[in-house]
Amino acid sequence: GVVLARDGWTVRTADASLSAHVEHTIVVRNGAPLVLTA
């Protein structure tokens, strides 16, 4: 599981194990997504 730190922003694993977070920036044109980041 994950927990939210007291700063209200930081999220970490409950057992302090390693984790990763990935986001993509996308544009939707003509009903089709275009991923701008890889």
Could you read off the pLDDT of 1-31 as tens digits, one per residue? 999 999 999 999 999 999 999 999 999 999 9
Does residue 38 have a pLDDT over 90?
no
Domain that holds residue 7: 2-35
Q: Per the structure block, which two tokens stand in for 6?
A: 């007291």
pLDDT of residue 1: 93
pLDDT of residue 36: 97
Per DSSP, 26 falls in state E
pLDDT of residue 27: 98
**Number of domains composing the chain:** 1
Q: Phi/psi class of residue 4: alpha, beta or left (left: φ > 0; alpha: ψ in -120 to 50)?
A: beta
Q: From residue 1, give the alpha-carbon distance in Å to each of 16, 27, 31, 37.
A: 10, 31, 35, 28
